[in-house]
A and B are shown apart, each in its own frame.
Chain A
Amino acid sequence: GESVGLHLPTLSVQEGDNSIINCAYSNSASDYFIWYKQESGKGPQFIIDIRSNMDKRQGQRVTVLLNKTVKHLSLQIAATQPGDSAVYFCAHTRGAQKLVFGQGTRLTINP
C-alpha cells in the first residue's frame, strides 16, 4: 500500500546552518508532493510543492528535491532561523482527492 514516511522524527540544527528534512514514499504513481510546516498550536502551512515531472524546485530559503528513482523527497532550509522551529510534514497526492501526510519531523534550532 502507499505510504509516506519520514526518516527521522527529530532534527536539531545550529542557527545559521542548513537543514535537510527527508521523506520516503512507496507509491511510484504519486504525482504531486507538498511540504507543510506546523508551528506549535497552529494548523499546517504550505511551504513548497513539486510535481513529479520536476526534480527540484526552489522557494525563498527552501528547496525541495524529488528523486523518483528511489522515491525520496527532501526539504532543504538554508540559513536556518529560530522561526523555522516547527514540525515539518511531507505529503503527496496520487492525482486526486486526498493528501497523505507523513509522520512529521520536529526541527529544533539551537542558538
Chain B
Amino acid sequence: DSGVTQTPKHLITATGQRVTLRCSPRSGDLSVYWYQQSLDQGLQFLIQYYNGEERAKGNILERFSAQQFPDLHSELNLSSLELGDSALYFCASSVAVNAGELFFGEGSRLTVL
C-alpha cells in the first residue's frame, strides 16, 4: 500500500460527459502528480501541483483541468469526454517539489462508451 488513495477505481461514462477523479496523497506529501496510461502504453505526465499551486504541466488537454485543495487532496476533471480518453489515470505524490521517488495510487480506470 503506497498510501496514495484514488477514487473511483472504475468509472464508465458516455461521450460528452464530465467526470472528476479524486486523489489523496500520502500523509506529509505536498506534491501531487497526475498521469494517464492508455492500454499497453507508458505513463504520460499530465500535471503537477505542489502545496496547492500548479507546478508543471505536461500533455494535458484543454478539456482536462485539475486542482489541489488546502487539505492537499487533488481532483482531475475531465470534460467533453471522447472515446480516446479511456485510460487509467494515476495519481502520485512526493514530499518535495522536485520529483524523486513518486508513490503511486492504484489508479482510476475510465471507460468512455
Whether A46 and B98, one on each chain, are in contact in the complex, defined by CB atoms closer than 8 angstroms, is no
Whether A49 and B100, one on each chain, are in contact in the complex, defined by CB atoms closer than 8 angstroms, is yes
Name the contact of B43 in the complex, choosing from A32, A45, A89, A96 (C-beta under 8 A).
Answer: A89
- Given A44-B43, A44-B90: A99 and B99 interface contact (C-beta under 8 Å): yes
Interface residue tally of chain B, by bracket? Answer: 20 to 34
Whether B99 and A96, one on each chain, are in contact in the complex, defined by CB atoms closer than 8 angstroms, is yes
Q: From residue B92, how far is it (CB to closest CB) to chain A in Å? A: 8
A76 in the interface, Cβ–Cβ < 8 Å? no
| Closest B residue by C-beta to A32 | B100
Name the contact of B102 in the complex, choosing from A95, A96, A99 (C-beta under 8 A).
Answer: A99
By a CB distance below 8 angstroms, the chain B residues around A100 are: 45
Q: Please report the C-alpha to C-alpha distance between residue A31 and residue B112 in the assembled complex, in whole angstroms.
A: 38
| Closest A residue by C-beta to B105 | A43
| Closest A residue by C-beta to B94 | A99
Interface residue tally of chain A, by bracket? Answer: 20 to 34
Q: From residue A106, how far is it (CB to closest CB) to chain B in Å? A: 8
Centre residue among B43, B48, B98, B106 by max chain A CB count within 10 A: B43
Q: Please report the C-alpha to C-alpha distance between residue A98 and residue B44 in the assembled complex, in whole angstroms.
A: 10
Centre residue among B56, B90, B101, B102 by max chain A CB count within 10 A: B102
- Given A97-B48, A98-B48: A103 and B104 interface contact (C-beta under 8 Å): no
Q: From residue B107, how far is it (CB to closest CB) to chain A in Å? A: 5
Q: From residue A38, how far is it (CB to closest CB) to chain B in Å? A: 8
Q: Please report the C-alpha to C-alpha distance between residue A43 and residue B99 in the assembled complex, in whole angstroms.
A: 17
Q: A residues near B, CB below 8 A?
A: 32, 34, 36, 41-46, 49, 89, 91, 93, 95-104
| A-B contacts, 8 listed (Cβ < 8 Å) | A41-B106, A44-B92, A45-B104, A46-B101, A96-B97, A98-B33, A98-B45, A101-B45
